[in-house]
Amino acid sequence: MTDLATPESLYYLIAALLVLGGLAGTILPLLPGTPLMLGGMLLAAWAEGFQRVGAITLVILGVLVIASLVLDYVAGALGAKKYGASKEALWGSVIGSVLGLFGGLPGLLLGPFVGAALGEYYARRDLERAGQIGFATWLGLILGAVAKVAIALAMLGIFAFAWFF
């Protein structure tokens, strides 16, 4: 019978909490989702001496984390740019995203939309076009969030495969 009070057990518990918190962070604002997941996976790999999860797996997971972080910052701007947004709309989207962090979930959802729409309106003085650019920005953010969840699930799958096989 194994002792549940071993240091390794504590490491695995913390690792599991980090991974679960990271999964929540892919959806909830202000939690660094995939970095938390990577931290938990790294802790679990370390706790078992890197016998199951080695350097190659951890590098792949690290690359996925970087991809998810890049998506966080560029998804809305890419949506706006694809629709032909002005430079001011792109900057508005970035500024709206940063300011939206302070408004919780509504701020995160509306900040980039409002920022891009205001930037486009400032550049072209066309209210309808500004609304279209704002919507394209919002759609880019939603697609980015879906991609971020997919990356998190891929990370789980890669880690589980390395751990069990």
pLDDT tens per residue, range 87-96: 898 888 888 8
Q: Is 1 domain-assigned?
A: no
- 39 falls within a domain: yes
Reading the block at residue 63, the tokens are 């690359």
Domains in the chain: how many in total? 1
Lowest mean pLDDT among 12-21, 72-81, 107-116: 72-81
User: For the ranges 10-14, 28-32, 61-65, which has the lowest average pLDDT?
Assistant: 28-32
* Other CB atoms within 10 A of residue 142 CB: 14
Do the Cβ atoms of 158 and 61 come closer than 8 Å? yes
pLDDT at 1 over 60: no
Kindly report the backbone phi and psi dihedral angles of residue 28, in degrees, each rounded to the nearest multiple of 5, phi listed first. -80, 145
Residue 67's pLDDT band (cuts 50, 70, 90) = very high
Percent over 90 (pLDDT), the chain: 49
Are 33 and 26 within 8 A, CB to CB?
A: yes
Q: Is 71 exposed, middle or buried (0-12, 13-18, 19+ CB in 10 A)?
A: buried
Residue 143 within any structural domain of the chain: yes
pLDDT of residue 3: 62
Sign of CA dihedral 54, 59, 65, 71: negative
* 55 inside domain: yes
Q: What are the structure tokens assigned to 114, written together?
A: 């409002």
Average pLDDT for 66-93 = 82
CB 119 within 8 A of CB 90: yes
Whether the pLDDT of residue 77 is over 80: the answer is: no
Q: Is the pTM of this model over 0.85?
A: no
41: in domain? yes
Output the pLDDT for position 29. 64
What's the chain's length in residues? 165
Domain assignment present for residue 111? The answer is yes
Residue 2 pLDDT > 60 = no
Q: Chain-wide mean pLDDT for the chain?
A: 88
Residue 143, Cβ density class (10 Å: 0-12 exposed, 13-18 middle, ≥19 buried): middle
CA–CA separation, 88 and 29 (whole Å): 25
Res 149 pLDDT > 90: yes
Does 87 map to a domain?
yes
CA dist., res. 9 & res. 5, Å (int)? 6
* Residue 97 forms part of a structural domain: yes
Per-residue model confidence (pLDDT) at position 44: 96
What is the domain extent for residue 50?
7-164
